[in-house]
Chain A
């Protein structure tokens, strides 16, 4: 039974599988769940920030020029940003194979 799928040895887990480093959820890759990704048309974007505010994860972050940058490491493809964008600037594009 050589095939191991665990991230850590059971011997190395903290007591009760506690997490000792605060904020470590940001290391968890949730971006491999999605079936479609949001693509922003910056010609239509008015920098309102609703995508940034309403994204349930950490996909959007503000850039110095006022637009929002996407980090697909976290994007689950929920489509809330595309649904809520008042200018229709975000399109959900199906992921390829």
Chain B
């Protein structure tokens, strides 16, 4: 039987990875991911987890070890943040192209410079084109559940892609929450042992990650793109199965009071819990406001977003990173693309909020709604702004 305990989310993530019974962990510590990796090394050292823990000299090596281990048929895990992810990213493209079911937890943190150890989504956005499946947690329980789900999806022979589970650094990684940890037996019933479709085996030699000449490369990328697109049905199916096994229901886009909402806030991650409080108090004042929280960032949940947003008159899309393209934040650009393709024409304003650990408060969300309504009423040209900037 599972147990419900008060636990730091990073420790819960590490305990979950141990319950999943991974074979290889290769990681380099970096704030705010450190507690996940430290605790895993303790679990291996004291015999609670029978795995190879490789204390590598960099994140580039961490992902390289994961690629090698996964290619040899091992269930692998790593975790990083920010600069560590930036150093790792070269090999992340290779992991997805080679179709290796590695799972990584990223404790999201801002990118330098200036140096910031605090939370935003710059690293998640750096990862957006790497071909990984990406999910985004809202709270500690979701971190645990998304990690279990990640292995089931990654190792499914219809998918075979790496999965990144995003959790907000500090805001989630360092808080103590009530966590329901399933038992090993319960996880095993949901998650069968990893059976590689293709692996490095001296008795049956294959070449993985070979050169792709111009006559092959396009077809290789087409196959990878199809794999990512097709993963969505498996991701949803694995969440449906998860609900049957563990009683908690997940879907690509989580909606909160969206049905009759005139204004919908679109966002990802833990700020949605704050936003829900803001929505409750605005609803109490008669404002029809809702939230669409994107849980599945890759592949992008197009149909689910259309369903959630189709009746809204006004959208406020909240990005937690800049794209430095001079016209739109990274998440809002994708949301607008979905709207355009589906003939939806709400008024859209893009807020860049919570950069490098700056708080996003209940009051901020209420201001965002007031301001976007005022702009829409005045038919101001749509655009973006960074909020909470001291002039």
Residues of A within 8 A of B (CB): 5-11, 13-20, 22, 24, 28
Q: B197 and A15: CB pair below 8 A?
A: yes
User: Is A16 a contact partner of B222 (Cβ separation < 8 A)?
Assistant: no
Provide the residues of chain A in CB contact with B205, threshold 8 Å. Answer: 22
A10 to B225, CA, bound (A): 10
Q: List 13 A-B residue pairs with CB atoms under 8 Å apart, sorted by A's residue number.
A: A6-B216, A6-B219, A7-B219, A9-B219, A10-B220, A10-B222, A10-B223, A14-B198, A15-B99, A16-B99, A17-B212, A18-B207, A28-B213
Interface check B218, CB cutoff 8 A: yes
Q: Which residues of A contact B214 (CB under 8 A)?
A: 5
State the interface size on chain B (CB cutoff 8 A). 25
Tell me what chain A mostly uses at the interface: helix, strand, loop, or mixed.
Answer: loop
Given contacts A6-B215, A7-B216, A19-B210, are A13 and B223 in contact (CB under 8 A)? Answer: yes
Check if B146 is an interface residue, CB within 8 A of chain A.
Answer: no
A5 to B209, CA, bound (A): 21
14 other A-B residue contacts (CB within 8 Å) besides A16-B208, A18-B210: A5-B214, A5-B215, A5-B218, A6-B215, A7-B216, A11-B223, A14-B206, A16-B209, A16-B220, A17-B212, A17-B223, A22-B205, A22-B206, A24-B207
For residue B111, CB closer than 8 A to chain A, the reply is: no
Residues of chain B in range 58-117 having any CB-CB distance to chain A below 8 Å: 97-100
CA distance A9 to B216 in the complex (A): 9
Distance, CA A36 to CA B16, complexed state (A): 62
Known: A5-B214, A18-B210. A13 touches B99 (CB 8 A): no
Do residues B198 and A19 form an inter-chain contact, with CB atoms below 8 A? no
B160 at interface, CB cutoff 8 A: yes
A17 touching B198, Cβ below 8 Å: no
Q: Which chain A residues border B220 with CB–CB below 8 Å? A: 10, 13, 16-17
How long is the Cα–Cα vector from A10 to B217 in the complex, in angstroms? Answer: 10
If A15-B197, A16-B198 touch, whether A22 touches B207 (CB-CB below 8 Å) is yes
* Residue in chain B with minimal CB distance to A6: B219
Contacts of B210 in A (CB 8 A): 17-19
Nearest Cβ on chain A to B16's Cβ, whole angstroms: 27
Question: Bound complex: CA of A28 vs CA of B205, how far in Å?
Answer: 19
Contact of A18 among B206, B213, B219 (CB under 8 A): B206
Q: List, in ascending order, chain B residues with CB within 8 A of A8's CB.
A: 216, 219
Task: Assess A10 versus B198: contact at CB under 8 Å? Given A16-B97, A16-B208, A19-B210.
Answer: no
Supposing A15-B160, A15-B197, A16-B98 touch, asked if A10 and B207 sit within 8 A by C-beta, the answer is no
Q: In the complex, what distance in Å separates the CA atom of A5 from the CA atom of B222?
A: 13
- Taken residue by residue from 6 to 25, chain B's Cβ proximity to chain A (1 for < 8 Å, 0 otherwise) reads as 00000000000000000000
**CB-nearest residue of chain B to A22:** B205
Please indicate the chain B residues that have their CB under 8 angstroms from the CB of A14 in the complex: 198, 206
Question: What CA separation (Å) do A5 and B215 show in the bound complex?
Answer: 6
Give the complex CA separation of A20 and B99 in angstroms: 15
Kindly identify which residue among A10, A15, A19 contacts B219, using a CB–CB cutoff of 8 Å. A10
